[in-house]
Every structure is written in structure tokens, then in C-alpha cells.
Structure 1
Amino acid sequence: MNENTARTQVVVIGGGYAGVMAANRMSGRDGVAVTLINPRPAFVERIRLHQLVGGNHAAVVDFRDVLADGVRLVVDTVDRIDAPGRGLTLASGDTMSYDYLLYAVGSGSADPSVPGAAEFAYPVAGLEEAERLRPVVEQAAAEAPVTVVGAGPTGIETAAELAEQGRRVTLVCGDVLGPYLHPRGRRSVAGRLAELGVTVVEGRDAKVNAVTRETVELADGRSLPSAVTIWTAGFSVPDLAARSGLTTDALGRLITDETLTSVDDDRILAAGDSAAPSGLPLRMSCQAAGPLGAHAADTLFDRLDGVPPANIGIGFAGQCLSLGRRLGLFQVAGKDDTPKGYFLGGSPGAKLKEFICKETVKQLADEARRPGAYNRHKKSDSEGKRRRELLALRGALPETAPAVRS
């Protein structure tokens, strides 16, 4: 574009790992104006929310530290997307138009269907939820029983964080501890939780049937005393895309092709937890969100240049868990996100987890200062599990979407 051409207006909905990465990257493009809409004025480190509950980290970063100066920040919430009219209606009543839209609204706590869970259990997937839970934990007696429901990363890390502080913690798995982990990594995590005094309840009958103000009722008839019940089972995504008439999967994630372009509208892209490329979403994680955000920005650039956008090619490394402040575990995985039989544990595992937490924010800050510097989204898994899944789904790899000139 030359300087006499009107600037392309790009709006990013959501200021998480994917949205900020994409906004920063797009801010370096001449002729592009980027607006980021986010419901709060600070960036949330979701991978530290269990630390907020434990009282040893605020889990927020000033947007000025991670967002490029050229990105306009609007603190508001989008109520509806008008795709045909390329417009947005905001909760404040304002409206906004766009040339291209990036949908990166992230994920949050699942609405529990278990009787009593919504009334008596505390979710922890969002900043406000963790902030609401923190004083409840502080005010509970030191010997009061705490029950954490859900044995994914959030449940394990929250249980370990509180147990390390001397809390009496029970972790209800519902089936198996750390479903993602390799059996060897799972045994290591179980050993650490035992050292911390966490009671792990797992197996087919270890499912929660009901939650009361003072108990957690299990399917096998057991009643666990619980002064504080923390709910970490499952995630959901906002229903904005579905409410706006866009095609989503059963969970509400926006369905895109492999270039991260909406199947409904080539002016809408998606990245992060709320995206479902080819209906085969990647594991919800900041490990996927950053690369997806960068790839979405690159897709936009290709469209502006009139060339076919590339398909995603994201490789994973594994999953990192903090097990209190002193110990941790890094479960090694292949690029296709299949866990391997080896891991890094103990103090080195904790140091690696802390490094990753800091590095994730640093990557955003680096991209803000030098848009285009990030390149970790180009570590392809094209010969791995995703390729096989796509072949099985479609009989052949999907074609890239056609380029569209702005």
C-alpha cells in the first residue's frame, strides 16, 4: 500500500496470549491500523493464576509492557459481530467497523452441571475468579479441608500450591491424575503430591455427584468434608461467535480452515483457545496460543499481498507443571503433542516452569518492540499426528484459502 491509500483497519477481540501476539505482529505492517479490544486494562498471565490463589503472584502485567505502542487499546467487551457489515457492537453501546477481524476471545471456566457446584464451588480459570477465591482461602482456618476438583494442570498446580502452604488438600481427579501425562510423568507428579500431603482421589467412581457448602459428594457414596471447594474441571469459550451467526464447533470455538480463516468469512481470522482449525482444535495452552496468533497475523499479511496464505504448522514441546514453589515437572512431548516417556522433574523442573512463564511474557514484549521477530510458529508438525487426522477427516490435506485483496 502507498501512503495515499486508506489504512486497513484490523480489530483484535481479546488481549490474551494469542491476541497480543497477533496485534503486536500486525502493528509493524505499513498501512495497517490495529485496535485491540479487551475487557480489562491489564494482561493476565493465566498460567500463574494458581499462584494468585496461593498469594505469591498478582498474575497480571501492565499492557504497556507487552503491547506495541502502535496498537490502540479499547477496554470494553464485544456484544455482537456483524460479519456482513464488518462491524462490532460493544457492551458500552459503542460501535466499531473493521476491514479484518481477529477472533481471540480465549477460554474460561466451564459451567458446572453438577448440582451445587455453581453455588458452592469456586472456579479459577479467570482473573476475577482467582481474585475472588484468594480471600476465601486466606480466611479459612489453617486446618480447614480444601477440595480441588479436576486433575488437569490447573487442578494439580492449585492443589500443590496450597498444600505446600500447609493446607489440607484433597484432589478429586474424576478418572486419572494428569490425563495428558505419560505414566512415568504421572507417577512422578503423584509422588510429589503425596510428599505435600495431598490426598488424591481417582478412578471411575471418583466423580463428583454434588457439592454442598461443607462437602463434596462422590459417585461411590463417599462424602468428603470441604470448607473450600475449588472447581477446575473443564473449560468453555465465550459464545460470541455462535451468537453472531458464525460457524462454531460444539464447544463454541470458531471453525476456520488451516490458514486460521473463518469458514464463513475471509475477513475474519481466529487464534488461540477459541479457534478450531478444520474442526480439529489444538490443545488449549499458551504454548499454542502464541504461535497461532503469529500465524494469524501472517495470514493477514498474505491476504493483503494477494498471495495464498500458508497452513498452520505448529509443533509442541510438552507440558510444564509447577508442584509448589520448589519443585516442578516438564513432560516432554513430540511435535505432534504426544507425551514421551521422559520428563524433567524436581528443582530443575520448577526452574524450567518459571523460565517458561517469564519467557512467554518476554516473547510478547519482544514482538511489541520488533514486530516480526517471533518465528516459533514455523516449527511444523506437517508429518505428524495433525496431518494424519486431516487426511482421515478429508481424504486429502485441505487447500489453502484463496487470497483476497483489501
Structure 2
Amino acid sequence: MSSQNQFRQQSHKLLVIPGPIEVTDEVLYANAHPLVSHMSLDFAAVFGDCIRMTRDVLYTKSAQPFLISGSGTLGWDQVSANLVEPGENVLVLHSGYFADSFADCLETYGAKVDQVKADLGSVVSPAEVERALKSKKYKVLTVTHVDTSTGVLSDIKAVAEVVRKVSPETLIVVDAVCSVASEEIRFDDWGIDVVLTASQKGLGAPPGLSIVVASERAMKVYETRKTRITSYYGSWKKWLPIMKAYEAGTAGYFATPPVNLIYAFHASLSQITKGSVTLEERFKLQKDASSRLKKAAEAMGFKGLPLSTEVAANGMTALYFPDGLEASDVVPRLLKKDIVVAGGLHAAVKTKYFRIGHMGVSAIDAQRGDIDKIISALKETLAEAKASKKA
């Protein structure tokens, strides 16, 4: 096997969907680590580092990370099974497709769910959150930080402030699958109780790892629940001893972890938390890349799905097609230029827009030129599509 310094990814299409994203050579090389025992001390040290660096990304000192083989969706199950007992009330703030899915998961485990729905392209306002919390007692409130279907960014800090003021006993759960490491999240300072995410988006690793971080308050709620946890694989009763063992430098066993993915995740976390670019600088670079792409696209005639720049995500962009054009005019042409974007997902406008992901290395490493490639390809595609319509 070649050394890390010699390894370079083979030529490939530029992957700029909202996850999985492009990963660095170092991360992909780490994913090819020789297989080792998940019970070995060498692996335990790497896993323990991942737990500690996950805390660093979220600015938390005491919260408990769970790193479990699975997709981001498994985070919904963990929250629903461990923190909500059948018949308890949950408030879901809706800013797109993924709020409906989270609500469905919660109801599957017996929760009574109410939703406060924002207009398409917008977010639920603090005033609406306050009214809902005053109308009923809720065990949990969930909010999608960046809804991947709309590219809309919720103000988590503002939501948390309202919850802490109006209903301080309510747990604040943030679906941050499409935001961790791309958007600032100050877990401790903002008083968040759970952040759930996955490895393949802003965290810059291959897919396959469900990442949930729970506050001490959330863990106390889990520990004092009155009914049996309604999941086997997702039970924190099973996983908590494993996480504690790995962080202590030993190993525990419940189910086999994704060994090579943990090595890849470790490589990416090391770049994020210990690299030459600080976390704060990463967030600025994300904003700069996002702003440049959005402004360039709008200058061409594309229109952003979010209703304002204040509610537009920094790790992805959702764009309506210009008048007279549709997905078949744009997406296949971009693919021919080796640019892989995602189609629409929100049912109300599914055929009217498309989505571009620009998280992680595509936004942080300007020398790669990924943002320039996207902008150039969009210009060429638009010109070709319009010429084709005139022909």
C-alpha cells in the first residue's frame, strides 16, 4: 500500500450534493487502514479521540457523544426511543421535508407530536415558538438546523433562548445532520440538549456513522425514565458503557463498530479541530464560499429557495430554475461537465429547483477551485440550455 504522502484520489466527478461530500486525500487514505480488532487498545485510542474531538466541534465540555454505525436517521430513533416515553408531547418545528420525517419517527415510538410549520423557504419565528410552548407542556422540542430539502437555516440560539425562558424543562433537540462543522453550534453556551448528525456532510468523512451528542440534562432524563426503552439497537443502555470504555482507552462490545470509518472520521476530525484553519475560520470560509456561489447564481438568473439571506444555509444552496427551464435542462448538463448536484426534494416544489452542497473541503480549501468549477459550469449550462430552447 502506498504511503499517505503518495496517495491521491483517482480522477472523479466533483460531488457537490448536500452529502455525501468530497473528502480529503488524508480521510480517504485513512478509510483504507488495515483492518484491526475493534477490541484492540490501538483502536480504542482512536475511538476515544473521536469522542473527544466530537465534543470540540460542538463546543461542549461535558456532553456525551454516541458514535454508532448507521445513518443520520438513526439519530431520530435514538432520541425517540431513549428520551420520549409513549404518550408524551413533542413539539416539532417544521422548515422542510425532514421535520415531517422526524415527526413520523417520534410517532412510531408513541409520542404525541404537534408541528409548527413555517412557510416554504422560511423558519419558525421565536414568537411562534413561544406561543406553542405556552399552549401545552412539551417533553421535547425538535428543530432542524439546516433542512436539506430547502437549504433553510434556523437560528438555534434564538430558539433555545425562547425555550429556556418559557419552558425550561423542555429538552432542545437539534437535527444538525446538514449543519455540524458547517454552521456554528455552541452546545454548552446555547443550552442545547441533543445534537444529532452524521459523518458524510460537514464532518467530511464517508457515510455510515450516526453521531448523537446528549447533554447531562438529557442523560438524566434518559436515566430516570419510567418505561422500558423501546429500541434494542438504539438503546443508550447498550451503548453508553461502550462509549465510556472507548473514551477510557479500553474497549467494550455490544455491536461491531465500523472500524475503518472510525479511522476516516478521526482523520477528518483531526483536520477540523487541529488543522491550520481554526473552527472559527472554517465557519467564515463556509460563509464566504456560500455567499460567492449564491450571488453568482442569482446574477445568472437563478433564485434561491430560502426567502432571505438570513435564513439561507452556508453549507448548501437550493436554487429555483430560471423561467422556461427545468431539471432536465440543467442537471444532466452539469453532470456532463463532471459536476454532480442533487435534484429537488421538497414535495411542493420538487421539480422546480435543485440543490448544491458546498461543505467541508470544497469550501475550505480554495486551492481546489471547487466553487469556481461550480460557478463556471452553471454559466456554461445556462447558456447551453437557453440556446437549446431557442433552436
Fold-level match, TM-score > 0.5? Answer: no
TM-score using structure 1 length: 0.29
Higher strand fraction (1 or 2): 1
> Using CA pairs below 8 Å that are at least 6 residues apart, which structure has the higher relative contact order?
2
For normalisation by structure 2, the TM-score amounts to 0.30
